[in-house]
A and B are shown apart, each in its own frame.
Chain A
Amino acid sequence: SQQGEEDPQALSIQEGENATMNCSYKTSINNLQWYRQNSGRGLVHLILIRSNEREKHSGRLRVTLDTSKKSSSLLITASRAADTASYFCATDPAQGGSEKLVFGKGTKLTVNP
């Protein structure tokens, strides 16, 4: 069953603008990961944030995690046309064996030149 749910489902912005995507989940987690997928390709790992962390940065990416609200956000600053892709959050549920990730349905981001 899918635990993470991204919002919005689709986002269209102009180059240079910031893009914010959100992920909500239902049960406690050990960590949360964000992945990117270009059309027709495999997923690429972007960033992992642990449950005891509140914010992480990687280049133009900023991820926040609010465990009290069971939500995370991914911010891409100064977006480029090359950022056009689908973005997925994946959670590692704390209950049960920590053996697999549960992926959301993704946010499709379009950055217009």
Chain B
Amino acid sequence: NAGVTQTPKFRILKIGQSMTLQCTQDMNHNYMYWYRQDPGMGLKLIYYSVGAGITDKGEVPNGYNVSRSTTEDFPLRLELAAPSQTSVYFCASQPTQGGYTFGSGTRLTVV
């Protein structure tokens, strides 16, 4: 059982470049989330989804976009990368009223 799979694990982007962080879960969970983790700041919610075709903004959505065309996949898109988006990104999934399962993270550096 793979759980939540994130790719890539590491990436270096130049300012202004774009990229998509992939997240896939095989547990048939309805809820999925994207968080960013900055040193000493805990986790901040970027976007979340309560099911296929439904997404909503979290606490820090600016500079990001998401889509949820299937239950399994919840990609996060950065269109114009900025140094402020240097962070570790975590995807998580959740069954209704259950605990979260996190992926292992993507470490992104924007230079």
A binds B: no
Chain A residues in the interface with B (C-beta under 8 A): none
